[in-house]
Amino acid sequence: MASQIPNDPTLDRIAQRFRLLGDPVRLKLLHALREGERTVTALVKSTGAGQANVSKHLALMLREGVVARRKQGLHVYYAVTDAHVFELCDVVCGGLNQQFSREIETFSPLPSAGQPRRPRAKRSTSR
CB contact at 8 A, 56 and 67: no
pTM over 0.85? The answer is no
Could you read off the pLDDT of 5-48 as tens digits, one per residue? 989 888 888 888 888 888 999 999 999 999 899 999 999 999 99
Could you read off the pLDDT of 82-117 as tens digits, one per residue? 888 888 877 877 777 777 777 787 775 666 666 555
CB contact at 8 A, 116 and 104: no
For the chain, domains (ranges, CATH) are 15-103 (1.10.10.10)
Sheet of strand 75-80, all strands in order from the earlier edge strand to the far edge:
38-39, 75-80, 67-72
Q: Which of 19, 118, 117 is nearest to 60 (CA)?
A: 19
